[in-house]
Amino acid sequence: MRQILSSFVELMRLQSEMNKLFEALQEIHQQQGDPDVTSAPPYDVLETPDEILVEMDLPGIDPATLQVGAKGDVVTVRAERCHAARRELLAYHLMERDRGPVFRRLRLEGAINTHKGEAAYRLGVLTITFPRVPDRRGSEVALPVKVL
């Protein structure tokens, strides 16, 4: 009987791990699901005793297109990376820089207050700051972006 119970517990643990894997794959698919998105910028998440900070590299972004939103522990960033039209351009010899829509969705660990979040864009880096709170309930909040 003990062996059957042990096997059942192990089977339940494996099912839980598989569920986590499928949830992670679904999040990745949702992030990459938009065929118009050309870039998912890199970011860092930093922690202080009072705040959670996200720093995201967004060089060449038109600040007017920058949208930052937060709902629960998920932060969403959308923007447009433009390139200047060049007159009398015959052809590109090399094109490595991303252009077009930018999108990134990330999940933050720890309880944050999305209603008091702030976002600032300076020198190609977007910094999003959330105060820590004991509870993390709430609805999606649009964060105004300050261009410094």
45 Cβ partners below 8 Å, 6+ apart?
Answer: 52, 53, 54, 106, 108, 109
pLDDT at 133: 82
40-69 average pLDDT score: 92
Q: What is the tally of structural domains in the chain? A: 2
Residues 17 and 63 in one domain: no
Q: 0.75 exceeded by the pTM? A: no
Residues 26 and 82 in one domain: no
Residues 141 and 71 in one domain: yes
Closest CA to 75 of 25, 119, 28, 123: 119
Closest CA to 128 of 102, 108, 98, 110: 108
What region does 7 belong to: left with phi over 0, alpha with psi -120 to 50, or beta?
A: alpha
104 Cβ partners below 8 Å, 6+ apart?
Answer: 31, 40, 41, 43, 56, 76, 77
Question: Which domain does 26 fall in, by range?
Answer: 1-33
Q: Is the dihedral of CA 109, 114, 117, 123 positive or negative?
A: positive
First-to-last alpha carbon distance for the chain, in angstroms, is: 68
22 Cβ partners below 8 Å, 6+ apart?
Answer: none
Kindly list the distances between the CA atom of residue 41 and the CA atoms of 6, 27, 64, 101, in Å, as whole numbers in the listed order. Answer: 45, 16, 18, 11
Residues 81 and 140 in one domain: yes
pLDDT tens by residue, 2-17:
777 778 778 888 888 8
pLDDT tens by residue, 122-139:
999 999 999 988 654 566
Residues 28 and 50 in one domain: no
64-82 average pLDDT score: 91
Residues 128 and 71 in one domain: yes
Residues 68 and 140 in one domain: yes
Distance CA 117, CA 147 (A): 16
Residues 68 and 21 in one domain: no
